[in-house]
Amino acid sequence: MTGPVRTALVTGAQQGIGRAAALALAADGCDVVVNWLDDEDAAHSVADEVIALGRRSVLLRGDVSSVDFCRRLVAETVRSFGRIDVLVNNAGIFPRVPFLDMAEAEWDRVISVNLKGSVFCAQAAAQAMAEAQTPGAIINLSSAALRGMPLGVHYAATKAGIVGATRSMALALARHGIRVNAIAPGLTDTAQPRHGHSEEELTDMAKSIPLGRIGHPTDIANLIVFLASDRAEWITGQTYHINGGAYLR
């Protein structure tokens, strides 16, 4: 890699896809800001692994549902490393609830974290990139936007919103050289599906996937690294579905 060391900010990086993204970006040469919320030991472990890969890391705790925090998160990233080149909007929640029982507070909380948080983290990052006249990449995590989820009407709504926001942000930011893309993972081996399914159920679900297994966080992280790199310099406004062929059925 030539030129200045890039800086990547990954929200919700303490576990799962966020953790895999932070480590993969570090392995690709980025310094990494690890945003986390509720597992300090896990967050420190990610930062330690980034450092072991020869890159710098900073831990920033906070909830992306707060617009003020989104702005402070980016400001602290720039203060710590002098720049921001990559934002991975990974932080999200999925409290399962039957649609007929869903309360307004549950709807509002999921919208605030998953959709509002992603949009305003992207806005803050893009403002910093534009002010520095530094081309950058924003990668949003989407899923469930096409098929929906019976216990996740609020969750699916946020992920569909992210697809639309990704396209619109890509158009708004292209003149600044800022690319915006989304990744929609299928069934992936993280805490989220394990929260709502037994191991036997996950095994049965994997059998229905044409490639014969559920995804690994590294499967998603590999695409994140590509979309963050100069190798994807003519790609923006796209949503990539990584699901082992599940949508082919």
CA dihedral (231, 174, 112, 194) in degrees, to 10, reads: -20
Among 243, 239, 197, which Cα is nearest to 216's?
243
User: What type of residue sits at position 26?
Assistant: A
Give the DSSP letter of residue 138: E
155 part of the active site: yes
Q: Which residues, 6+ apart, have CB-to-CB distance to 173 below 8 Å?
A: 126, 130, 138, 179, 180
Query: With contact defined as beta carbons under 8 Å apart, do 178 and 237 qualify?
Result: no
Supply the DSSP string of 104-155, one letter for each residue. HHHHHHHIIIIIIHHHHHHHHHHHHHHHHT--EEEEEE--STTT--TT-HHH
Q: Which of 21, 86, 155, 165 is catalytic?
A: 155
Sign of torsion over alpha carbons 113, 115, 118, 124:
negative
Three-state SS for 98? coil
Query: With contact defined as beta carbons under 8 Å apart, do 239 and 142 qualify?
Result: yes
Residue 54: count other Cβ atoms within 10 Å of its Cβ. Answer: 9
Give residue 244's region: left, alpha or beta (phi > 0; psi -120 to 50). Answer: left
Annotated catalytic residues are: 155
